[in-house]
Amino acid sequence: MTTIGEFELIERWFARAPRRAALGVGDDCALIAPAPGQQLAVSTDLLVEGRHFLATVSPDRLGHKALAVNLSDLAACGAAPLAYTLALALPQVDERFLDGFARGLHALADRHRIDLVGGDTTRGPLAIAITVFGEVPAGAALRRSGARPGHTVWVSGTLGDARLALEGFRGNVDLDGGVLQRVRRAMEIPEPRVGLGLALRGIASSAVDVSDGFVGDLGHVLKASSVGATVDVDALPRSGDLGSRPVGEQRLCTLAGGDDYELVFTASPDAALRVREAAAQAGVAVTAVGRIDSERGLRLIDGAGRAVDEAYAAFDHFRS
Ligand code: ADP
Ligand code: MG
């Protein structure tokens, strides 16, 4: 515990000269100006210890993740990040924690050239709320409602490692040290697919980022688009670490894992080549995993075309 006050804390760890915003930390409001013809894309995520992150996470990884999950929402909309705000509740002024947290946060922000333009700081149980602001040409945002029958369902990167790590920490699965360290990175330092989201503008018909699990998040697209889908669970991309686990575990982690921060998106089959070019440009792998149907609901099949009947519900914060 120290005697550092609120304003000194903001000054020391969070106030930095804005590079792009017209007015940053220190005034009653920040001022940001999207370019002419652009819409402002806005998203907020709240992270609470024990629910969204474990006390074992290092402060710099926590700083990274708090911003990454928000940038992932901009990515899903095809928006270019501009700026963000940070609301922080801290149980005490822990300099070591704040040094690490600010380092991880600012490092990711620097990579995307975005400014921390304001926020609020209070004493309380550790909680972090970030709001990101992005810009997207008017009418060009990727939305959940554009999937049409016949469109292909695509997934970026790999699914399930974050959930495998969580089950490792919970003691439900036994992972050897090297595996745990690798899958733990997926859980603690996810990479928001901002470049892919931008590259998919005008190509993808719908998109969502996977925060609660593939089945649940694809379900949001299906509902918003009034369609259904058939997905090959054996085609869902997964790491070698997850791929060497028992099949049931692989299915749970890829289908209902959560915390993946990959993009699930749809595109017309005619656009397959353009999807692959966009992914190559963004440096991210993409995999076709299924097809949109006019019949509502999600049908899971295996690689041989047999129905997979296990009920893999998405992780729901209020049910678990
Ligand atoms: P107000 O009382 O006018 O809401 P505050 O006294 O809470 O303002 O904050 C002073 C300034 O510091 C404001 O510009 C606010 O946006 C900024 N600020 C507060 N907390 C943070 C934080 N955690 N990170 C970045 N900026 C912050
Ligand atoms: Mg305030």
97-145: per-residue pLDDT in tens?
Answer: 999 999 999 999 999 999 999 999 999 999 999 999 999 999 999 999 9
- Residue 219, ligand 1, Cβ within 6 A: no
Tokens at residue 66, please? 């708090």
**CA distance linking residue 30 with residue 116, whole number of Å:** 10
Q: Are 79 and 114 in contact (CB under 8 A)?
A: no
47-65 pLDDT, tens digit each: 999 888 888 899 999 999 9
Q: Does position 308 have pLDDT exceeding 80, yes or no?
A: yes
Q: Is 25 in the pocket of ligand 1 (CB under 6 A)?
A: yes
Side-by-side strand order, sheet with 297-301: 206-209, 263-267, 152-156, 286-293, 228-232, 297-301
Q: Which ligand is nearest to the CA of 131?
A: 1
220-224: average pLDDT? 98
* 116 in contact with ligand 1, CB cutoff 6 A: yes
Number of residues that this document lists for the chain: 320
Q: Which of 186, 45, 197 is nearest to 127 (CA)?
A: 45
Q: What is the pLDDT of residue 21?
A: 86
Residue 87's DSSP bridge partners are 120, 129
Residues having C-beta closer than 5 Å to ion ligand 2:
120
Q: Which atom of ligand 1 is nearest to the CA of 87?
A: 23
Of the residues 4, 6, 10, which should be mutated to test ligand 1's pocket, given the most ligand atoms within 8 Å of the CB? Answer: 10
pLDDT digits (tens, 9 = 90+) for 147-198: 999 999 999 999 999 999 999 999 999 999 899 999 999 999 999 999 999 9
**Closest by alpha carbon to 314, among 209, 218, 185, 173?**
218
Distance, CA of 54 to CA of 58 (rounded, Å):
9
In this structure, what token pair is assigned to residue 28?
């009653």
Helices marked H in the chain: 6-9, 59-77, 95-111, 161-170, 177-188, 194-199, 214-225, 240-243, 247-256, 272-282
For residue 251, count other CB atoms closer than 10 A to its CB. Answer: 22
Ligand nearest to the CA of 18: 1
86 lines ligand 1 (CB under 6 A): yes
Distance CA 55, CA 65 (A): 14
Residue 27 in contact with ligand 1 by CB distance below 6 A: yes
Look-up: residue for tokens 């005619």? 270
**Which of 100-114, 220-234, 283-297, 302-316 has the weakest average pLDDT?**
302-316
218 and 156 Cβ atoms separated by less than 8 Å: no
**229-248 residue pLDDT tens:** 999 999 999 999 999 999 99
Q: What is the mean pLDDT of the chain?
A: 94
308, 302 contact by CB (below 8 A): yes
Confirm if 289 and 214 have CB atoms less than 8 A apart.
no
For residue 185, give every residue at least 6 positions away whose Cβ sits within 8 Å of its Cβ, in sequence order, or none: none
- Give which of 259, 251, 264, 229 is closest to 309, Cα–Cα: 251
How far is the C-alpha of 298 from the C-alpha of 76, rounded, in Å? Answer: 21
**What confidence score (pLDDT) does residue 2 get?**
55
Predicted confidence band of residue 199 (pLDDT cuts 50, 70, 90): very high
Provide the greatest CA pair distance for the chain: 65
What does the pLDDT read at residue 318? Answer: 46
